[in-house]
Structure 1
Amino acid sequence: MEWSWHPVQLSFYVSTIATVFTFLLAVVLAYWMVRKERKINAVLETIFFLPLVLPPTVIGFLLIIIFGKNSWIGQAVESVTGNSILFTSTAAIIAAMTVAFPLMYQSIKTGFLSVDTNIIGAAQVDGATEWMALVKVVIPLSIRSILTGVVLGFTRGLGEFGATLMFAGNIPGKTQTIPTAIYLAIETDATTIAWYYVLISIGFSFVLLFVINRMRTDV
């Protein structure tokens, strides 16, 4: 196995795209969940947090079932694009989104719950719609929790291995990310190359987590 920057570049690309889409989804769902108590909320949140406790192989298996060629979603995507999602960078993005969502959702929801409902009510009395209140009031007042969730989600997506390996594969130059490159390096006894990827992963994750801790201590 030879050293390549491609796994590093792909990992950052996958994590960045996954973080953007996961952030949008988490913000919408967190706001929808905190604004009104529903009997179904407990069930939905249980589903949201399943990726935290399920084995990565189970997540990978479910993603294959949902987006595979035998599912209506997979068939619809293939009919539009002419290609299957499996063993592509898109599959890696979906896997990263799946594992990153619970962490990002929980952090954003915690931030939203910390906002005084009277402030939201006052904004709506002044004519703000639900979504205007979200954008102009709730998000600015929850920015620290939101940024924490974004960083945690990004680092979680960056380190995703099991589901990515099953769903996107480990194709050098195509779907190989840092974690799968480390796995292949160990399998081929390329310990030095594995160390390169490990140090890059540790270094970047350390910096991001350090930023989170500084944000918390500055509160």
Structure 2
Amino acid sequence: MVAIQTGRLYGIGVGPGDPELLTLKAYRLLQAAPVVAYQAASDRESIARSIVAPYLKGDQIEVCFNFPRALDPEAASELYSDAIKPIEAHLGAGRDVVVLCAGDPLFYGSFMYLFTRLAARFITEIVPGISSPMAAAAAIGTPLCYQNDVFSVLAATLSAADLKAQLINADAVAIIKLRRHFDKVRQVLIELDLLDRAKYIERATAKDQRIVSIEDVDSRNVPYFSLIVVPSKTQF
């Protein structure tokens, strides 16, 4: 009996928004894969797919899956496992699958949930991508940190007390997942006298990128793909 050759799983970072920031390796794998998968909310297009849309060949099988956010981990586990069954089926049938990941696959990305479920059974390769904090620093035009500075990435979902504790001990910070938590973050920055150093950016490197003064941000319209950078105060 001949064993079935399983497909390979590729998690490729497609960067923060600009299609030209896709790496050559990610482009090669994307062009070669018979199956292209990507995460999207049920009522929205996939950000990752939109980034690489110019490079899709048109004859590839596309798999769109949805990981609901803000769920209890135990409740989410079964839903996540069900969501990736089509990908698992393609791999089991011997087809390679490229999973598109906005930014970097292993930096707060949905690919991590595939990785923990499939990597033990299928050969898996990760292709890093440019993450949003790096893209934001380049777009804003500010060095993040120097020499022995401590750089931290904080989730805005943390409590105000936890944000304060982390910000006090960091030389440079990127605060992500702002959306509904923007007012809380802004108030913490005010209380720590960091507002003058802090920079706000939406959709870094994308066509609709916006860099706005934090004082002028409408907290009712803060998108998911936005962040605040507090660069190092050190200057050379």
What TM-score does the superposition give when structure 2 sets the normalisation length? 0.23
Structure of greater relative contact order (alpha carbons < 8 Å, 6+ residues apart): 1
What TM-score does the superposition give when structure 1 sets the normalisation length? 0.24
Q: Which has the higher strand share?
A: 2
